[in-house]
Amino acid sequence: MTAMSSVAPDAAALGHDPAARRRLGNALLVLVLLWPLLQLAEFRPAALFEAGNLAVMTGFLAGFMPPERSPEFLGMLLKATLETLAIATAGITLALLLAAPLAVIATRALSVSRIGNGPGRHRGMALRGACRVLMTILRAIPEIVWALMFVRVLGLGPAAGVLALAITYGGMLGKVYTEILESTDTRPARALLESGSGRLAALVYGLIPNAAQELTSYTVYRWECAVRASVIMGFVGAGGLGQLMDQSMKMLNGGEASSILLVFLLLVLLADAISAGLRKALA
Amino acid sequence: MSFVTHQLGLVHGNGLRALHGLDLSLARGERVAVIGPSGAGKTSLIRLLGCALRPSSGRVELLGHNPWQLSAAELRRLRARIGTIHQAPPIPPRLRVVTAILAGRLGSWPAWKGLASLLYPADIAGAQRVLARLDLADRLFDRCDRLSGGQLQRVGIARVLYQQPELILADEPVSALDPTLADAAIGQIVADAERRGAGVLASLHAVDLALKWFPRVIGLRGGEVVFDLPAARVDTAMLRELYASEGSVVPTQANDPALLHALGDAETGTTDDRVVRLDSCRGRG
């Protein structure tokens, strides 16, 4: 049979894995490419363990002890935490509104025209390409740059941070949603499209039931990232934990900084719990 | 006509020729079974007739239309009139049975109705009726991952019965069912098609099922039609020849050659006489 004769019969007859040589070649290629990159990044892990450097690091970390616990500071910390949560949540919500339609347009899993090269395939391909380029642009520009731009328009405050998060994270969410929808089992959606259902119906009946868990955990993970990104937002006066962190670091107050870091740890744990809970609910 | 093909051919992306020069047609309301060894091109034929693949050569006309000359909207409407029963039901495991069945009408429902039906099932009674015919009525609100392979395959059949297509394409629709259930399920597909005057093309592994339920049988081998005859004129020698590549063993449900002889010249009664009461098979498959 034609299909079978295409896999090198002589190698198979000898009991060799015909793919082994290519696998070894690829592994060597990766190493050859990686080595100059490590050189370029001045990657010398041994430096970490030289006596002088160890002392410097210990000194730096000792400055963070003990964490600041005065009621006055804790009050400020609570207010800043709520602000940060508000910025991250508002930013992710806007990002979601931006990402969901982009992902639905860009994903190949919902392309009707790809089925048997139907009518409108060139237009569909162009539209998907345009969406991908748009999402690339949105996420290629770091949120801090968007924030600096919006600060000029909207003035100092959380609004600039929220918009900056919405745009960058909109691009990231859209890209990853697109790929999640393509890597789940796409046959149910394709079968629906093949029997004449619309894209939206194929999405909610065919793809979402399989992909809901992945989509949710990635979204919650991005919310967690948005909480951390608000540190950077603090530098442009977006308020919240970032601004507090900025002040503490400028005043070289290690105790305050470590209290703030403990709050970050708690928020990440919270995000984990939310994610686990939602995954369980969607299982 | 349900469909007409002219010199229909299909070459897969890897250069493998799946179908070659098929001239077939099916009248409205006619039923035909396609049999043949594995790799004969049965699934390819069904995908071509379901507008899921574009032919590499020749052309196909479905319900009076050439699908690949239609606009996107017209093609969508045509696809909604054709129902395909897949061998592996393409149903997400987390879907409930009722949702999986109602999805059959997504092609004819407006978008809002499909979305609203996720909040509250739009036609519980309709889904219940179809499911009852396949003896699964008590599983209406179960999740599909709670079903056995055979039960899921019957949900896949129920979805297409609920769709009420004018042409039913079935790709080994009862491969996961035991002989009694398989017979009953084919009987339900046939009864539904007869009632509505829909055409049926079914690929079947079990030759006895094909000869029992289908007035016409097409033998496919190596992507070409070996015979296309009324069931009564298909004889054992033809079947041995068709399955020559599989050691001339003609596959039947029970793998009992005697059964085949008995069925080969069985006269065809009315459908209702032959439909096995599904209640008698409860708890199986």
Closest Cα in chain A, distance from residue B144 (Å): 11
Q: Write down the domain spans for chain B.
A: 1-81+168-174+199-270, 86-164
For B107-143, the pLDDT digits (tens) are 999 999 999 999 999 999 999 999 999 999 999 999 9
Is the minimum CB–CB distance between B16 and chain A shorter than 8 Å? Answer: yes
Contact A210 B92 (CB under 8 A): yes
Could you state, in chain order, the average pLDDT of each consecutive group of 10 residues for chain A (283 residues)?
46 73 92 87 80 81 79 85 88 94 92 84 91 92 87 83 91 94 94 93 94 92 88 73 82 82 88 90 86
Q: At what angle do helices A71-106 and A240-250 cross, to 10 degrees?
A: 130
- Parallel, antiparallel or unpaired: strands B167-171 and B82-85: parallel
pLDDT of residue B255: 55
Give CA B54 to chain center in angstroms: 20
ipTM value: 0.87
The per-residue pLDDT for A14 is 67
In this predicted structure, what is the pLDDT of residue B63?
A: 94
Chain B CB contacts of A188 under 8 Å are 90-92
Fold of A71-282: MetI-like fold (1.10.3720)
Q: What pLDDT, on the 0 to 100 scale, is given for residue B49?
A: 95
Q: Which pLDDT does position B274 carry in this prediction?
A: 47
Contact call for B95 and A209, based on CB within 8 A: yes
B265 vs chain A: nearest CA distance in angstroms?
Answer: 36
Nearest neighbour of A3 by CB, restricted to B16, B54, B71: B16
Q: Which residue of A has its CA nearest to B71?
A: A119
Domain boundaries, chain A: 18-62, 71-282
User: B57 φ, ψ to 5°?
Assistant: -150, 160
Cross-chain CB nearest to B77 (options A115, A117, A196): A196
User: Side chain identity at B56, as an amino acid letter?
Assistant: S
Q: How far apart are CA A24 and CA A29, in angstroms?
A: 9
| Verdict on whether the full-model pTM lies above 0.90 | no
User: Residue B282 — pLDDT band, cuts 50, 70, 90?
Assistant: very low
pLDDT tens-digit series, residues B157-200: 999 999 999 999 999 999 999 999 999 999 999 999 999 999 99
User: Above 70 in pLDDT, residue B281?
Assistant: no
Which residues lie closer than 8 Å to A247 by C-beta, 6 or more apart? Answer: none
CA atoms of B187 and B174, how far apart (whole Å): 11
CATH architecture of B1-81+168-174+199-270: 3-Layer(aba) Sandwich (3.40)
Contact (CB<8Å) B83/A192:
no
Q: Which helix (H) or strand (E) holds B255?
A: none
pLDDT at B272: 46
Give the number of A-B residue pairs with CB atoms closer than 8 Å: 107
Residue B169 three-state SS: strand
CA distance B97 to chain A (A): 12
pLDDT for A52 equals 81
pLDDT (tens digit per residue) in B72-118: 999 999 999 999 999 999 999 999 999 999 999 999 999 999 999 99
pLDDT of A5 reads: 44
Q: Is the pLDDT of residue B273 over 60?
A: no
